[in-house]
Chains A and B, each alone.
Chain A
Amino acid sequence: MRNLRADERISMELRKLYRQYGYLPYKVNQFEEYDLYMRNKRFLTSEHVLAFSDMDGKLMALKPDVTLSIIKNTCDSADTTKVSYAERVYRVPRGAKGFKEIMQTGLEVIGRVDAYAMGEVLMLASRSLAMISEDYALDVADLGIVSGILGETGLGDAQRARLLSLISDKNLHGLKETCAQLGVDDRTAARLCSLVTVYGPFDRTLPVYEQMDLPPACAQALRDLRAVLDMMTACGVKNINLDFSVVNDMNYYNGLIFSGFVCGVPQSVLSGGRYDYLMQKMGRKSQAMGFAVYLDQLERLFGQQRDYDVDLLILYDADAAQEQILAAANAAVTAGRSVRVQRAGETQLRARETVTISGEDT
């Protein structure tokens, strides 16, 4: 294990964790029909898809996302499926000018997503973050609250999206201004502003929302959050915050959504939520919830410099006996050391120990 890169090691540990909770490993094709992504463009974090023509002229894509493929390959049934995956995806990271291969590990529950399933997914999300770093934070929100409040405004989609993006930026001054511009009534404006100002540890923040005067449409969301909080408290999961700046496209997501951070990585490394609407768009009746962990960011977190490239460096010259070199190399490897054999005079690696074998020795 010690020779694995940090992202590979964590990916293995995560898969083991998911497996322990009965999320069966799922393998999806590396290629997918381009059309799948075009139909669900806004579900993707970036609209760019790496496409190419297949042998029969069909337009294919290197997958930028795993969830869509998993849904496509599951059919509606009365049973609940729990799967986990570790896949490479290809997308253009924010602000970047080209595609990047990203290692993504995650899980999905498809079928019936009840209070237990929501709690389990959230617990696994927080355990995943804890595996990366003890200093982590999982921000949870429920889109039911936001849409319950926005539902009373009678605003159109574009205006709702504007308000949502201000909430996501924690932009209180902008939110107040925009509410005034759009003619949102004072009570609703105050409720929206509280979504920006009231956040923090789950157990302290949820009671504040429960006491708040929220529209009846928020009741289900509050019940879901309470159920999840009680489960988290019972299993001793820490570092969970209620924070409504976590938002996602309401055309795909509903209910719980969350986003995870670890100290030392500037962007979120985990994101997930409940996406029943995506299921409906893809013609499925089942409910679904899941999350993905992005491992490409972790390089920086574990990027400590190694002092040595190898344990033993064996240098040999033109006259050295090959049997002798090989024997020395094999002896080191058998003893559990790493070894590099190279001609004397070439650029050397940094080694704990260096030995020279020359023809004169024989």
Chain B
Amino acid sequence: MDRLINVALPKGRLGDKAYGILEKSGYPCPEMKEDNRKLTFENEEIGVRYFLVKPSDVAVYVERGAADIGIAGKDILLEYKPDVYELLDLKMGCCRMCVAGPKDFRDDPAKTLRVATKFPNIARSYYSALSREIELIHLNGSIELAPLVGLSDVIVDIVETGKTLYENGLAPLTEIVPISARLIANKASFKFKGDALRRLCAQMERTMNL
């Protein structure tokens, strides 16, 4: 079996930051910093292989064992509920999952609430816990537009600074859950590459606390 540790990193800022921690923790891979079109990056000496994937796909790679570990946002873990171990809160990429809408929005319980979101499962479970009937509108991007053009009453989305919301006359109404990046691991890999994965996890924790 493949004895390298396969790490799925999310493309973009979060992935760069996460790689920074891994590099400092003793898992560097110089190839990563070269400007090329490679999809996988290996440091055989240390026994690690990185690959960059779309952030929302990290959990898929890890759950299906193509990657042993990965860095995924808590939003993705809540939305897709992958069958993985969640080993570490990396305390970066911090933001909030919120209900947002027009600043002066007042929920009218006599009507079905129309909710636009990229996270249908999170939205559904949040409102079902409140026993509030909603109509879900699943969008893939530009969620903030929905209440502006009357597609929905509110949105459920990630809020980092809230700048986009405020500039468009919207505001966060309720926080559903705080979000940050997590280190996740495939359950089977954790049995068969356990020592190596535990070492990596402990090193990352140490680097974070420095």
Contacts and interface: CB of A to CB of B under 8 A. Distances in A.
Interface in B145-192: 186-192
A210 interface: no
A268 B1 contact: no
Nearest to B129: A158
Contacts of B89: 173-174
Interface in B67-121: 80, 82-89
Contacts of A262: 188
- Counting chain A residues whose Cβ lies within 8 A of the other chain, the interface size class is 20 to 34
B188 A170 contact: no
Name the prevailing secondary structure of the A interface residues: loop
B64 interface: yes
B88 A261 contact: no
A95 B1 CA distance: 25
Q: Find the residue from A94, A245, A266 having the highest chain B CB count within 10 A.
A: A266
A263 B63 contact: no
B87 A266 contact: no
A266 B192 contact: no
A137 B189 contact: no
B28 interface: no
A173 B88 contact: yes
A152 interface: no
A356 interface: no
B55 interface: no
Contact of A137 (B82, B88, B186, B192): B192
Interface string B120-153: 0000000000000000000000000000000000
Contact of B187 (A95, A263, A264, A268): A268
8 contacts: A95-B63, A135-B1, A137-B191, A170-B190, A261-B188, A264-B1, A266-B64, A267-B65
Interface of A: 94-95, 135, 137, 139, 169-174, 241, 245, 261-268
Given A171-B85, A266-B65, 14 more contacts: A95-B82, A137-B191, A170-B85, A170-B86, A170-B190, A171-B87, A264-B1, A266-B63, A266-B186, A266-B187, A266-B189, A267-B63, A267-B187, A267-B188
